[in-house]
Amino acid sequence: MDFLITETQLKTILNEEKSSKIVDSLKYLNSFTKELIIKAKKDWDLDFKFLTTWGTAIGGFAAPLNHFIRTGDFNLTDKEITLILIGIVALYYYNNKSALMKIIQMIKSEGIENEFKKVLLKSKELKNSFVKFMLSINKTMTDTFSIMRYAFLIPIISDDIMETLIGGSDIETATTLIVKRLLAYGAITFSSEVLSNLIEGILKKLSK
């Protein structure tokens, strides 16, 4: 399927590049992670500051779970939500069994083990769906942890990326625009070539 973009549309997109929705989304994901880590330290004395380097990826995975909790049938305080989310983050992004067990014990002590299990189940569904999608894009991706480094894409695949495609861009132009926007934020550590190959694959799949 071919997509066309007028010169006016292209100029408009380029002029709005710095304030694009994709950059705004990445900023939100990064700030969400930082706030979660700060709350974990303040409320539970759990030091996960070192995970800030995975800010956008963790935010891409944890923010949808936060939405799931806050809009679902849960009766949890903000502190309890923080504990559950940091437990999920520790499971997927911190390979330290003792640290995870410490959080699990805290969850049990707070009497929110059932709620944690529900969110954990949702997180597994989200992870499995994302990993399956990524494998359909790139068959060489076999390490789940490496794939989860791209979790910052979860909130923007069906919204910001698809919107760029629907907006009239052909796949090559859309790929270039999206990669520029991702790299413009500065917190994405992947190279332009890696992102270009990945985004092009995503766009091709979404355009079918």
Predicted local distance difference test score (pLDDT) of residue 95: 79
Asked if residue 57 lies in contact with residue 148, where contact means CB atoms within 8 angstroms, the answer is yes
Q: What pLDDT digit, counting tens, does each position of 6-41 carry?
A: 555 545 544 454 446 778 888 899 999 999 999 999
Predicted local distance difference test score (pLDDT) of residue 173: 81
Q: Which residues contact 107 (CB under 8 A, 6 or more apart)?
A: 83, 84, 87, 113, 116
Could you give the C-alpha distances from 177 to 56, 153, 161, 164, 195, in angstroms and in order?
19, 15, 10, 8, 11
Q: Which residues contact 54 (CB under 8 A, 6 or more apart)?
A: 33, 93, 149
- The tokens for 26 are 């990445």
Q: Where are the domains of the chain?
A: 7-206
Q: What pLDDT digit, counting tens, does each position of 113-160 carry?
A: 999 999 999 999 999 999 998 888 877 777 888 888 899 888 887 666
Secondary structure percentages of the chain, helix, strand, coil, to 5: 80, 0, 20
pTM here is: 0.82
Q: What pLDDT digit, counting tens, does each position of 96-126 carry?
A: 888 899 999 999 999 999 999 999 999 999 9
For residue 139, which amino acid is it? Answer: K
User: How far apart are alpha carbons 131 and 137 in whole angstroms?
Assistant: 10
DSSP 8-state secondary structure symbol assigned to residue 18: G
